[in-house]
Structure 1
Amino acid sequence: MKCPGQDTLYWKEDAIYEVKCPECNKNVEFFKDDTARKCDHCGHRFANPKMDFGCASYCKYAEQCIGNLPPELIAQKEDLLKNRVAIEMKKYFKRDFKRIGHATRVARYAETIGKNEAGNMAVILSAAYLHDIGIHEAERKFNSTAPKYQEQEGPPIAREILTRLGANETLINEVCDIVGHHHHPRDEETLNFKVIYDADLIENLSEKHKENPMEKDRILKIINKSFMTESGKKEAEKVLAAN
């Protein structure tokens, strides 16, 4: 069965229309299911400005349904993905507001750091929301929240969530890799990992600082020694050493 939005049986007169080329201003004919077309006059290829991507912004079958996705829709899909991952994280943790709050704050720091470092925000925010997703299984199986158990139990749960949401395999693999060792940096690390590591460290230090306040000099020493990105250091100073 075809998606009704793409089945010509349901099309009306407005299913074919002309759009001005943004380069030469000549008319280019579009069918409503064309994601992009090339201008016959100047050769410029551009996305269909009238196309309502609708469910294609989250449907995992969108590419099969409407062909190769334009960059605009790929960006839209990734932007929507991080919001849906946040929802799935909250559903998974249910009434464990402590873990929900921690993940949400880590994601907030990761967004600031990641944008400043020009990281892949879909990977970064998905990993931020899911970095501690294995903590309940660690408690159930080992009666422990030790980092090694979280890292062991987290990736299968993260993979199931991301697969169900229709994320691409490359993103899933990178997020699961980060989740699987987010407390233990390797000798060589990706930028996306470094962003998550710094964001998580800010939140962990902030929680400890609230319980047992540290002197500013000690905080600055930790920041200079432990953080992996310059943006992470700046954010840590803003959060931890502002006063």
Structure 2
Amino acid sequence: MIEYFGTDVRRINHALKVYGYAKSMGELEKLPREEQEILEISAILHDIGIKEAERKYSSAAGMYQEIEGPPVAREILSKYTISDESKDRVCHLIGNHHSYSKIDGADFQILVEADFLVNIFEDDIQREQVEIIEQKYFKTKSGRKFIESMYMNAE
């Protein structure tokens, strides 16, 4: 991912932060080992489609990331030993990580929550909107704990 994004430090940092939250949350939620691995890979690669989206559509919009991310991720993952089922799941998560109505598992839920935790800070989202995000999208115990301690309990 770092090699792919090159000098785009902002996107590298975003991916690493989402990865850090997702890894921690997956461990706190006691995901099974294989699901944890899928979550971690998906977290580090979740925005991998941005470069292609910008090249093809002149936009980094989520819908374009979802279209362009899976093929790029599949190419990157082809260099590693990972089962076809795991690759398919990673690509499913990357290809839907902005489609919250499609959340279909703990790995997907945690990825979405971790991305929100980072985006709230990076996009300077105000407390009122954070409350709505928490109520609408946060389901895990660890995610709720993180969002409340980071953004709701601050003075």
The question of a shared fold, defined as TM-score above 0.5 by the shorter chain, is answered with yes
Give the counterpart of 1:225 among 105, 114, 136: 136
- The amino acid of 1:107's aligned partner reads Y
Q: Which runs of 5+ in 1 are unaligned?
A: 1-88
Q: Deviations over 1:78-126 (max 9, x none)?
A: xxxxxxxxxxx00000000010000000001101111111222210110
Could you tell me which residue of structure 1 aligns to residue 152 of structure 2?
241
Could you tell me which residue of structure 2 aligns to residue 100 of structure 1?
12
Alignment partner of 1:140 is 2:140 = no
Shift of 1:192: 0.6
CA distance in 2, matches of 1:103, 1:188: 20
- The amino acid of 2:123's aligned partner reads K
CA distance in 2, matches of 1:169, 1:157: 15
Task: Flag the structure with more relative contact order, 1 or 2, with Cα contacts below 8 A and sequence separation at least 6.
Answer: 2
Give the counterpart of 2:3 among 88, 91, 103: 91
- The amino acid of 2:93's aligned partner reads I
Q: Deviations over 1:116-162 (max 9, x none)?
A: 11222210110000000000000000000010000000001111111
Could you tell me which residue of structure 2 aligns to residue 185 of structure 1?
100
Q: Percent identity?
A: 38
CA distance in 2, matches of 1:95, 1:188: 32
Contact persistence 2:48–2:73 (CA under 8 A)? yes
Contact persistence 2:103–2:109 (CA under 8 A)? no
Structure 1 counterpart SS, 2:100: coil
Give the counterpart of 2:122 among 203, 207, 210: 207
Give the aligned length: 151
- TM-score where L is the length of structure 1: 0.59
Q: Deviations over 1:171-228 (max 9, x none)?
A: 101000000000102355111100101100111111122xx6x24x553343122213
Alignment partner of 1:115 is 2:27 = yes
Higher helix fraction: Structure 1 or Structure 2? 2
Could you tell me which residue of structure 1 aligns to residue 91 of structure 2?
176
Shift of 1:232: 1.1
Greater radius of gyration (CA):
1
Aligned Cα RMSD in Å?
1.6
Bigger drift between 164-173 and 124-133 goes to 164-173
- The amino acid of 1:224's aligned partner reads Q
Shift of 1:168: 1.3
CA distance in 2, matches of 1:168, 1:193: 18
Higher strand fraction: Structure 1 or Structure 2? 1
Structure 2 counterpart SS, 1:186: helix
